């Protein structure tokens, strides 16, 4: 049976799908995260994503320079990476409980994985798809392990060179073709002039797959631009409206804005329509509001058609204006009243 994840990773899919990224926006409280999930259910959100790791599966507990967080980093208040991920990670027993709620309410969910223990954990929960986060783009062993599950994969590009993407895609294709690329800029938040969303079409052509946008901007302008550039998947961080504590709250959108956000993106996608000559095929009702040639003064049989008795006017039920010169200074074969439509066989043939 085709899952929603298989559908949205298909290149032919045209609908815009929104992934609600929970990330570390749980305020370090199960009750707060449960409230988040209940709000997701209430808002009939279609796709939710977790991040599944532990501090020890994503980094090393060390105070050496390599592991310290730079001062200009938005998370610089944390001593080191281990400390940061200790606060940011979602306890796995919470995920196990909450996915049961989502399953019961038929809300689609999946997760980012960071090592093989997280894959094993999620396989036991029957996770339907996986994401490879930007910093893991060069971990080919991880990508291979995820690909072996034969489940759809979302590949984020925030820290990738084109060669990284090529290698990752080749690895996935050894096992299946259900994947999508998410254009991403790994800055939190990302400024609009740092997005390079014009490259979405480049990625679509080069890798012949669905391409989306992993959005770390504030607001909706970035997502709108991505859809206008061909993105059919938008992943965005959301939070509870009153959340001032969570690790990613500073660039996350309030969950109460989800419906409006989705509505606007869907409308933009629908407005794009066709991108070929079929876009210029007019509806008959519209076609008939154009100009055409009508009799503007009564014409007797044998009289000349002149600029004074025929003209190009609205509506468009008669002959197109391009035929006007076919009539000028020719004689009419019949009597014509004001408002009559013209036909080429109304012109009297010479010698008759």
Q: Is the pLDDT at 1 greater than 60, yes or no?
A: no
**In the chain, how many domains are there?**
2
- Residue 5 burial (C-beta neighbours within 10 Å; 0-12, 13-18, 19+): buried
**Residue 62 domain-assigned (yes or no):** no
Structure confidence by residue, pLDDT tens digits, 89-138: 999 999 999 999 999 999 999 999 999 999 999 999 999 999 999 999 99
**Residue 2 domain-assigned (yes or no):** no
What pLDDT does 136 receive? 97
**Residue 162 domain-assigned (yes or no):** yes
Q: Is the pLDDT at 289 greater than 60, yes or no?
A: yes
CATH of the domain at 307: 3.90.1210.10
Residues 348 and 204 grouped into a single domain: no
- 8 Å CB contact between 99 and 90: no
Residues 293 and 267 grouped into a single domain: no
Residues 199 and 222 grouped into a single domain: yes
**Residue 264 domain-assigned (yes or no):** yes
Task: For the chain, give the mean pLDDT.
Answer: 94
Report d(CA 9, CA 11) in Å as an integer: 6
Residues 312 and 178 grouped into a single domain: no
Q: Is the pLDDT at 277 greater than 80, yes or no?
A: no
**Residue 110 domain-assigned (yes or no):** yes
Structure confidence by residue, pLDDT tens digits, 40-60: 999 999 999 999 999 999 999
Provide the 3-class DSSP secondary structure of residue 192: helix
Residues 269 and 324 grouped into a single domain: no
What pLDDT does 114 receive? 97
Residues 228 and 334 grouped into a single domain: no
Provide the 3-class DSSP secondary structure of residue 17: strand
**Residue 236 domain-assigned (yes or no):** yes
Residues 226 and 303 grouped into a single domain: no
Q: Is the pLDDT at 260 greater than 80, yes or no?
A: yes
- 8 Å CB contact between 225 and 209: no
Residues 119 and 264 grouped into a single domain: yes
What pLDDT does 160 receive? 95
Q: Which of 277, 302, 331 is the last residue of a domain?
A: 277
How many helices (H) and strands (E) in the chain? 13, 11
Residues 245 and 287 grouped into a single domain: no
Q: Which of 254, 277, 300 is the last residue of a domain?
A: 277
Residues 44 and 182 grouped into a single domain: yes
Band of pLDDT at residue 275, cut at 50, 70 and 90:
low
Higher-pLDDT residue of 130, 266: 130
Q: Which of 277, 311, 327 is the last residue of a domain?
A: 277
Q: Is the pLDDT at 286 greater than 90, yes or no?
A: no
Residues 167 and 303 grouped into a single domain: no
What pLDDT does 279 receive? 55
**Residue 205 domain-assigned (yes or no):** yes
**Residue 77 domain-assigned (yes or no):** no
Residues 119 and 255 grouped into a single domain: yes
Lowest mean pLDDT among 35-44, 68-77, 177-186: 68-77
CATH of the domain at 176: 3.20.20.70
The residues with which 299 forms a beta bridge, in sequence order, are 336
Give start and end residues of each alpha helix (H) in 75-191: 81-88, 92-104, 116-124, 140-147, 162-173
Average pLDDT in the 315-336 region?
96
- 8 Å CB contact between 261 and 253: yes
Rounded to two decimals, the pTM is: 0.84
Q: Is the pLDDT at 62 greater than 70, yes or no?
A: yes
Domain that holds residue 264: 8-54+89-277
What pLDDT does 75 receive? 83
Give Cα 71 distance to the centre of its chain: 34
What pLDDT does 98 receive? 98
What pLDDT does 74 receive? 80
Average pLDDT in the 304-326 region?
96
Average pLDDT in the 218-239 region?
97
Q: Is the pLDDT at 17 greater than 70, yes or no?
A: yes
Average pLDDT in the 138-150 region?
98
- State the residue for tokens 């959301």: 238
- The phi and psi torsions of 151 (rounded to 5 degrees) equal -100, 155
């Amino acid at each position: 049976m085709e899952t929603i994840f298989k559908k949205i990773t298909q290149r032919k899919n045209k609908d815009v799908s929104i992934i609600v990224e929970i990330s570390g926006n749980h305020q370090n409280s199960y009750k707060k995260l449960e409230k988040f999930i209940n709000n997701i259910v209430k808002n009939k959100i279609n796709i939710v994503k977790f991040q599944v790791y532990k501090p020890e599966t994503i980094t090393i507990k060390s105070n050496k320079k390599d592991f310290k967080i730079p001062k200009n980093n938005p998370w610089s208040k944390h001593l080191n990476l281990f400390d940061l991920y200790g606060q940011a990670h979602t306890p796995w027993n919470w995920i196990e409980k909450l996915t049961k709620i989502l399953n019961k309410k038929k809300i689609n969910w999946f997760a980012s994985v960071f090592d093989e223990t997280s894959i094993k954990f999620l396989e036991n929960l029957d996770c339907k798809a996986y994401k490879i986060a930007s910093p893991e783009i060069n971990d080919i062993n991880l990508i291979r392990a995820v690909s072996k599950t034969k489940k759809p994969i979302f590949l984020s590009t925030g820290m990738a060179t084109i060669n990284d993407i090529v290698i990752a895609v080749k690895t996935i294709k050894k096992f299946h073709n259900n994947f999508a690329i998410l254009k991403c800029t790994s800055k939190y938040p990302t400024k609009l002039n740092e997005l390079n969303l014009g490259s979405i079409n480049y990625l679509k052509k080069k890798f012949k797959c669905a391409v989306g946008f992993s959005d770390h901007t504030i607001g909706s302008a970035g997502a709108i631009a991505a859809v206008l550039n061909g993105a059919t998947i938008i992943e965005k961080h959301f939070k509870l409206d009153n959340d001032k504590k969570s690790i990613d709250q500073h660039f996350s959108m309030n969950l109460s804005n989800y419906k409006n956000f989705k509505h606007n993106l869907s409308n933009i996608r629908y407005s794009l329509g066709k991108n070929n000559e079929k876009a210029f095929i007019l509806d008959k009702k519209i076609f008939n509001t154009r100009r055409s040639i009508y009799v503007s003064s009564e014409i007797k049989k044998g009289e000349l058609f002149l600029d004074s008795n025929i003209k190009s006017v609205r509506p468009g039920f008669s002959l197109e204006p391009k035929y006007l010169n076919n009539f000028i200074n020719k004689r009419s074969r019949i009597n014509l009243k004001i408002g009559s439509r013209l036909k080429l066989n109304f012109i009297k043939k010479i010698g008759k």
